[in-house]
Amino acid sequence: MSRKFATGGAPHFPPHATISGVMRQVLLALVPGIVAYTWFFGPGILIQILLAVIFALGFETLMLKVRKQDLRLFLGDWSAVVTAVLFALCLPPLAPWWIALIGMLFAIVLAKHLYGGLGQNLFNPAMVAYVVVLISFPQVMALWLPPTSLAGQSLSLGETLTTIFSGHLPAHLSWDTISEATPLDAIRASLATGQMVSEARMSPVFGNFGGLGWEWIANFYALGGLWLLWRRIISWHVPFMMIGSVVGLGLVGYLADPGSNPVPLQHVFSGALILGAFFIATDPVTGCASTRGRLIFGAGVGILTLVIRRWGAYPDGVAFAVLLMNMAAPLIDRYTRPRIFGQ
């Protein structure tokens, strides 16, 4: 008696990876950095992450419904959560709640779904959102806190919540007393007044290489990034070239004019460079697909970041650099096509 079977296409093995698995691993890799962030700068960042995730999932649901897509399938891919977390990590910890709302509106609705949803967006949604709020609300986005170890007064969880939701500090505090320039801001401001980098670095916000606290957060981001490399979620090309070009170009600048250029490692360990190198510029959707393309993409982001930091109007340039390279990615891919076997 013969038996009938259901058929299916080859290969028959179960899938090796899933998008949601990739996204969850990216989130997991961010955990050490987030813990360090909370340790140095208080619980504000956790609330920003939570807010951004809630808004992101809300907009994602809305847009999936409007676009008549499978809710369970696409909400389950975790991509909106990754966008939200990466965006939140760029915010000052006490930014008011509506910053996350506006950011996620631009990230999920505009940068992602209006371009065709998952996999179709030309620009990195988290960076689009960050640049929009940075340009639109420069004052709010400049309210950075010093590491808790330096701060005279630190905020409790309750006070942090009130500040984020009301937009006002508790009565006994003022922004002038608690906010502090970021290390990159400090260097920029000092250089503007004709000081040397070495003088700027006298400020207590600096650590061994980058900003106090910041450099440790960067270390933990790097740790997560290395884990992603080991898990083969990301390839080495972009982080290597991005950090490598910053170090290389930074070294040239430092050797040529140590007065107005910090040591290269200062660049590496300040701002969003490490986060960008491992988590943002490695976004596959908006980056290059070919190996050579990724090398060029990474170098491009690194060089543009340094150029913006040195000559641009903003202290950090990672977001702008990533967006500029996003634009160039399709062109780079076109000209870095690998040679086909036997041709």
Partner 1 sequence: MTQIDRLTQARQAGEQLHHFHGGLRLRHNKKISCELPLEPMPLPPRFYVPLLQHSGPEAKANVSIGQTVLKGERIGLGSHPGRGCIHAPTSGTVKALARRAISHPSGLEGLCVVIEPDGLDQWKKLEPIGDWNNAPPSELRQKISDSGIVGLGGAVFPTSVKVEEASEKGIHTLILNGSECEPYISCDEMLMREQPDSIILGARILQRAVGANRTIIAIEDQMGAVNQALMAAVTESGAGDIDIVTVTTIYPEGGEKQLIQVLTGLEVPSGGRPSDLGLLCQNVATATAVARAVVEGKPLIERIVTVTGNGISKPRNLLARIGTPIECLIDQCGGYTENAARLILGGPMMGYALDSDSNPVIKAANCILVLSDFDIRPPQAEMPCIRCGECARVCPALLLPQQLHWQISNQQWDETAKYGLSDCIECGCCDFVCPSHIPLVEWFRFGQDQLRSLATDRKQAEEAKQKFEAREARLARTKLERKQRMDEKKRALRDEAERKRKLAEAVDRSRSRQDKEA
Buried b (16+ CB within 10 A) or exposed e, 109-124: bbbbbeeebbeebebb
Q: Point out which span in 2-10, 145-153, 167-175, 298-306 binds partner 1 (CB under 8 A).
A: 2-10
As a whole number of angstroms, the distance between CA 313 and CA 17 comes to 42
Question: Measured on CA atoms in the order 307, 313, 317, 319, is the torsion positive or negative?
Answer: negative
- Out of 287, 298, 315, 317, the residue judged to bind partner 1 by CB under 8 A: 287
Cα 206 to chain center, whole Å?
A: 21
Residues 250 and 310: their CA atoms lie apart, in Å, by: 10
Q: Does 227 bind partner 1 (CB under 8 A)?
A: no
Taking contact as CB under 8 A, which single stretch among the options 111-119, 193-201, 254-262, 308-316 is the one that binds partner 1?
A: 111-119
What count of other Cβ atoms lies within 10 Å of the Cβ of residue 342?
4
Rounded Cα gap, residues 240 and 312, in angstroms: 24
For partner 1, the closer CB: 100 or 233: 233
Contact by Cβ (8 Å): 173, 153 = yes
Distance of CA 214 to the CA centre of its chain: 14
Considering only CA atoms, which of 89, 95, 75, 224 is closest in space to residue 160? Answer: 95
Residue 331 beta carbon to partner 1: minimum distance, rounded to whole angstroms = 14
Structure tokens at 270: 């300040």
| Site stretch for partner 1 (CB under 8 A), options 117-125, 139-147, 171-179, 260-268 | 117-125
Q: Does 230 bind partner 1 (CB under 8 A)?
A: no
User: What is the nearest approach in angstroms of partner 1 to the Cβ of residue 339?
Assistant: 6
Q: Can residue 15 be called a binding residue for partner 1 (CB under 8 A)?
A: yes
Q: Residues for the chain: how many in total?
A: 343
Query: Rounded CA gap, 273 and 317, in Å?
Result: 9
Binding status of residue 311 toward partner 1 by CB under 8 A: no
For the CB of residue 21, give the shortest distance to partner 1 in the complex, in Å. Answer: 7
Question: Among 309, 89, 321, 320, which Cα is nearest to 217's?
Answer: 89
- Taking the complex as a whole, how short is the minimal distance between the CB of residue 112 and partner 1, in angstroms? 11
194 lies in the binding site for partner 1 (CB under 8 A): no
Counting contacts by CB under 8 A, is residue 18 touching partner 1? yes
**Binding of partner 1 by 118 (CB under 8 A):** yes
Told to check if 172 binds partner 1 by CB under 8 A, we report no
SS3 39: helix
Q: Which stretch binds partner 1 (CB under 8 A): 149-157, 195-203, 260-268, 333-341?
A: 333-341
Task: Considering the complex, state which of residue 50 and residue 57 has its C-beta at the smaller distance from partner 1.
Answer: 57
CB neighbourhood size of 78 (10 A): 19
Closer of 185 and 283 to partner 1 (Cβ): 283
Near partner 1 by CB under 8 A, which window of 133-141, 190-198, 281-289, 310-318?
Answer: 281-289
Alpha-carbon distance 31 to 271, whole Å? 18
Tracing tokens 């490695």 back to the chain, one arrives at 282
Minimum distance, C-beta of residue 63 to partner 1, in the bound complex (Å) = 14
Residue 68 touches partner 1, criterion: CB under 8 A: no
Tokens read off for 333? 């891919």
Stretch in the footprint of partner 1 (CB under 8 A) among 16-24, 91-99, 210-218, 266-274: 16-24
User: Among residues 68 and 172, whose Cβ is nearest to partner 1?
Assistant: 68
75 counts as binding partner 1 under rule CB under 8 A: no
Query: Which ranges of 150-290 does DSSP label H, i.e. alpha helix?
Result: 157-166, 175-178, 183-192, 197-200, 214-230, 237-256, 264-268, 273-275
Residues that bind partner 1 (CB under 8 A): 1-19, 21-22, 70, 73, 77, 117-120, 235, 284-285, 287, 289-291, 294, 337-343
